[in-house]
Structure 1
Amino acid sequence: MDIANRYKKVRKLTESICAPLQTEDYVVQPVIDVSPPKWHIGHTTWFFETFILKPYFMGYQEYNADYNFVFNSYYESVGNRVIRTDRGNLSRPTVAEIYRYREYVDEAIAKFLCAEPSPEVKELLILGLNHEEQHQELLYTDIKYILGHNPLFPAYNKNYTSPKSEVVEPGDFIKMPEGIYEIGFKGEGFCFDNELNRHKVYLNAFEISPNLVTNQEYLTFINSGGYHDFRHWHAEGWDWVKTNKVEAPLYWHVIDDEWYNYTYHGLGPIKPDEPVCHISYYEAYAYASYKGMRLPTEFEWEAASSKFKWGKSWEWTESAYLPYPGFAKAPGAIGEYNGKFMVNQKVLRGASEVTSPGHSRGTYRNFFAPYLQWQFTGVRLAK
């Protein structure tokens, strides 16, 4: 697929994700980690205007100079911005105006791509499309948080079907021999800079589960008092549990002594055989401790990933988010994309049911703070 058609396809998918929303849904920001959907629509558009059209499309007229302040996310090199906590206070620009902005930029990109872009610009365009695919997943998760914290528990889309069904089948732990393994991206095509450079790691022999932990398995942890037994928790995780009065994964609720959870269909009974989802690293670690096991490192996960199915939920690992050997940040704003976040984060591997098509690979390194639950995050055990 040529770059112009790929651009159209990616941009169209973002809009289709938002299609079930009402106008009011676009504006809500319940917590700092969740951005209003209209901000995602504007920010992904701003990326192409800022990094492609303004520097490379001669004669391009900026849509609105104030949008650089409104839709910049964290790029210090590009200037000042609305602080993250205030994104939900932006009643203006309106949703309709942001869609007009999106249409304006898309029309300009279409004209720009009438000529073959240089390799440098094409590389930026591909980065921009992968960036938008990241925001498509964030849109799904942020929308779920917005609607899942509405006291009416409205459905996002009652016809929603998960593209990643996972039937848990009994199976023995996969045994991996000790040895030297190559880790990191290899080959043609796109990868993020944090997947480089490919390098060798030595791993002791280990075993890893072929399946993710299920809701039923996690319920045994809850019912055994797991959230009230400090022995399973890191000190920081135990403080988090007590301070926030955490008793279960995000979106789980007890109604008439039965467990329910919120999904895109609305509130319904928990399905015991589905993989547990929306748990923090703290919870994943505590569950592994309760089972007398541990989480895999990201290197163990990658070394074994061809031997099990993955992609239903992001999987917490025991690895801190750190640079690979030889990692170097690119100059300018693009260099702010990953490297500046390599502190106080845990690596997650795999993908989730809301990861965009074509955006999954075994070397992908996702990362989040250990207390976060709002992403589609689960747990695979190792020993």
Structure 2
Amino acid sequence: MTTSDIAGADLSHVDGVRDRIAAQLTRARDRSRLLTDAVDDHDLVRQHSKLMSPLVWDLAHIGNQEELWLVRDVGGREPVRADIDELYDAFKHARSARPELPLLGPAEARKYVGEVRDKVFDVLERTPLEGHKLIDGGFAFGMIVQHEQQHDETMLATHQLRVGEPVLDAPPPPRGGPVGPAEVLVPGGPFTMGTSTEAWALDNERPAHQVVTEAFFIDTTPVTNGEYVAFIADGGYTDPRWWSEAGWAHVRKASLVAPRFWERVGDQWYRTAFGVTAPIDPRQPVVHICYYEAEAYAKWAGKRLPTEVEWEKAARFDPATGRSRRFPWGDEDPAERHANLNQRHLTPAPVGAYPAGASALGVHQLIGDVWEWTSSDFHGYTGFEVFPYAEYSQVFFGPDHKVLRGGSFGSDQAAVRSTFRNWDYPIRRQIFAGFRCARDASRDESV
């Protein structure tokens, strides 16, 4: 199922919608199986980093959320395992403490998620998909699809932190190509941000609202490994001029000298990705960068990070029509030619690899490859309404979290839109995050 299939459907006629929801549920579960079947039981129950849960916790948590929302709430069915709700409540137990809990073992977790899924398919068959906000357009099912895919990306990040022989494999991404000028002028004026029509959009993406920006420039592509090496070579990590006070304190406390998973051997930088160590590709977007590193590079380059308003305008605004597109390339759902998504590859693609995915303004690779840090704190839009629960996003609002946009090579298209908002602490580097720079346009440049 694609979100446009549902968003554009006449919800009084839902023929075929159930089949598409079932296909999306199955596709997400196939990915969960791939990520958990790739390792043995010892690796499933082991904590590979204090930042992450054991893989077996993620698997059972996926099933528990599916049971809570679809089996019990939408379906009104009896619980499958009410006794484990607290174990898999992400707000009750910090990730670092989860290995000490009496978690379901691998075989029991697999049995549990299978039983839940069987009941969910029965609920799906009997649910009208209209007449109530939670089920209109299959929203609750779409929320669970996105939840599973988001945890799949988290599990992929756990695989990146895992030590041992490689267990995941994927073909290399397409080769890069020309991208035109280094930066693109985004005209000042109004545009429509957010959405009130996307059927599976989550509460923090809503409502659609008009925002006015000044003219600004934004980089045509994300910052690459080769560009970032120049920052390192110029003493970027040892010069406090480029860092905010909080960033400089973090650099010293964490002893940062390069992106995470990088190692220098002689004059060559290497990166380890999913157990494979290789020289960095200078044309690939830099990844595993924290917010403070992105902020420092931008200042060193004489630029800044874009706000999330600017990022979304660069991604969605079509100057020919004045309207906001669903995706940079238009309204159709992502295809392989548009973006590096769906874990098809295990690394960002070189810049210029997806010319068909460029925005109307000529900005490349805004969707997929790497999550992009913005300078914005995470807050609700004016008119924000919690739905269906505050713990999805509202409890994270405030200055502690920075907004990331666009998705990564590990994101699934069901969980990525030009309106989708991710957020994390500015020190986080285990996520598949990079960035691009922006700058103000002078009066002469904005004409």
Both proteins in one fold, TM over 0.5: yes
Q: Write the distance in 2 (CA, Å) between the matches of 1:297 and 1:316.
A: 9
Secondary structure of the equivalent of 1:228? coil
Structure 2 residue aligned with 1:190: 200
Could you say if the C-alpha distance between residues 27 and 164 of structure 1 is closer, same or farther in structure 2, counting changes exceeding 3 Å?
farther
Could you say if the C-alpha distance between residues 48 and 165 of structure 1 is closer, same or farther in structure 2, counting changes exceeding 3 Å?
farther
Does the alignment pair 1:263 with 2:318? no
Does the alignment pair 1:294 with 2:304? yes
Q: Write the distance in 2 (CA, Å) between the matches of 1:69 and 1:337.
A: 17
Deviates more, 1:353-362 or 1:277-286: 353-362
Q: Write the distance in 2 (CA, Å) between the matches of 1:382 and 1:196.
A: 25
Task: Report matched runs for 1:207-246 at 5 Å.
Answer: 207-246=217-256
| C-alpha contact 2:87 2:103 (8 A) present in aligned 1 | no
| C-alpha contact 2:404 2:421 (8 A) present in aligned 1 | yes
Q: Write the distance in 2 (CA, Å) between the matches of 1:21 and 1:236.
A: 38
Q: Write the distance in 1 (CA, Å) between the matches of 2:225 and 2:376.
A: 24
* Partner amino acid, structure 2, of 1:68: D
| C-alpha contact 1:144 1:156 (8 A) present in aligned 2 | no
* Partner amino acid, structure 2, of 1:325: T
Could you say if the C-alpha distance between residues 163 and 34 of structure 1 is closer, same or farther in structure 2, counting changes exceeding 3 Å?
farther
1:12-40 alpha-carbon deviations (Å, 9 max, x no partner): 22212333222222123244431221111
Gaps in structure 2 of 5+ consecutive residues: 2-17, 316-358, 440-447
Could you say if the C-alpha distance between residues 90 and 253 of structure 1 is closer, same or farther in structure 2, counting changes exceeding 3 Å?
farther
Could you say if the C-alpha distance between residues 93 and 330 of structure 1 is closer, same or farther in structure 2, counting changes exceeding 3 Å?
same
* Partner amino acid, structure 2, of 1:89: E
| C-alpha contact 1:165 1:312 (8 A) present in aligned 2 | no
Structure 2 residue aligned with 1:342: 397
The alpha carbon displacement at 1:256 in A equals 4.3
Could you say if the C-alpha distance between residues 112 and 144 of structure 1 is closer, same or farther in structure 2, counting changes exceeding 3 Å?
same
Structure 2 residue aligned with 1:68: 85
Structure 2 residue aligned with 1:84: 95
| C-alpha contact 1:350 1:362 (8 A) present in aligned 2 | yes
Does the alignment pair 1:253 with 2:263? yes
Q: Write the distance in 2 (CA, Å) between the matches of 1:341 and 1:12.
A: 30
Structure 2 residue aligned with 1:177: 187
Q: Write the distance in 2 (CA, Å) between the matches of 1:170 and 1:372.
A: 32
Deviates more, 1:31-40 or 1:164-173: 164-173
Does the alignment pair 1:46 with 2:64? yes
| C-alpha contact 2:292 2:427 (8 A) present in aligned 1 | yes
| C-alpha contact 1:178 1:205 (8 A) present in aligned 2 | yes
Q: Write the distance in 2 (CA, Å) between the matches of 1:5 and 1:297.
A: 36
1:251-310 alpha-carbon deviations (Å, 9 max, x no partner): 111234532111135112111111111100000000001111111111111111123222
Q: Write the distance in 2 (CA, Å) between the matches of 1:302 and 1:248.
A: 28
Pick one of 424, 428, 437 that aligns with 1:368: 424
| C-alpha contact 1:160 1:264 (8 A) present in aligned 2 | no
Structure 1 residue aligned with 2:374: 317
The alpha carbon displacement at 1:5 in A equals 3.3
Secondary structure of the equivalent of 2:185? strand
Could you say if the C-alpha distance between residues 113 and 163 of structure 1 is closer, same or farther in structure 2, counting changes exceeding 3 Å?
farther
| C-alpha contact 1:313 1:378 (8 A) present in aligned 2 | yes
Structure 2 residue aligned with 1:354: 410
| C-alpha contact 2:295 2:304 (8 A) present in aligned 1 | yes
Q: Write the distance in 2 (CA, Å) between the matches of 1:379 and 1:211.
A: 9
Structure 1 residue aligned with 2:12: none
Gaps in structure 1 of 5+ consecutive residues: 75-80
Structure 2 residue aligned with 1:78: none
The alpha carbon displacement at 1:161 in A equals 2.9
The alpha carbon displacement at 1:236 in A equals 0.6
Pick one of 423, 435, 438 that aligns with 1:379: 435
* Partner amino acid, structure 2, of 1:124: A
| C-alpha contact 2:70 2:123 (8 A) present in aligned 1 | no
Number of residue-to-residue matches in the alignment: 368
| C-alpha contact 2:312 2:419 (8 A) present in aligned 1 | yes
Secondary structure of the equivalent of 2:263? strand
Q: Which has the higher helix share?
A: 1
Structure 2 residue aligned with 1:139: 155
Q: Write the distance in 1 (CA, Å) between the matches of 2:212 and 2:118.
A: 51
Secondary structure of the equivalent of 2:87? helix
Deviates more, 1:334-343 or 1:288-297: 334-343
* Partner amino acid, structure 2, of 1:189: A
Pick one of 13, 19, 22 that aligns with 1:4: 22
Deviates more, 1:41-50 or 1:134-143: 134-143
Q: Write the distance in 2 (CA, Å) between the matches of 1:83 and 1:214.
A: 34
The alpha carbon displacement at 1:323 in A equals 1.0
Secondary structure of the equivalent of 2:237? helix
The alpha carbon displacement at 1:170 in A equals 4.9
Q: Write the distance in 2 (CA, Å) between the matches of 1:186 and 1:164.
A: 35
The alpha carbon displacement at 1:243 in A equals 0.6
Could you say if the C-alpha distance between residues 294 and 130 of structure 1 is closer, same or farther in structure 2, counting changes exceeding 3 Å?
same
The alpha carbon displacement at 1:82 in A equals 3.3
The alpha carbon displacement at 1:91 in A equals 6.5
Q: Write the distance in 1 (CA, Å) between the matches of 2:385 and 2:144.
A: 20
Q: Write the distance in 2 (CA, Å) between the matches of 1:268 and 1:236.
A: 32
Task: Report matched runs for 1:71-150 at 5 Å.
Answer: 71-74=88-91, 81-90=92-101, 92-119=103-130, 120-121=134-135, 122-145=138-161, 147=162, 150=163
The alpha carbon displacement at 1:186 in A equals 4.6
The alpha carbon displacement at 1:156 in A equals 3.3
* Partner amino acid, structure 2, of 1:326: G
| C-alpha contact 2:48 2:158 (8 A) present in aligned 1 | no
* Partner amino acid, structure 2, of 1:226: G
Secondary structure of the equivalent of 1:227? coil
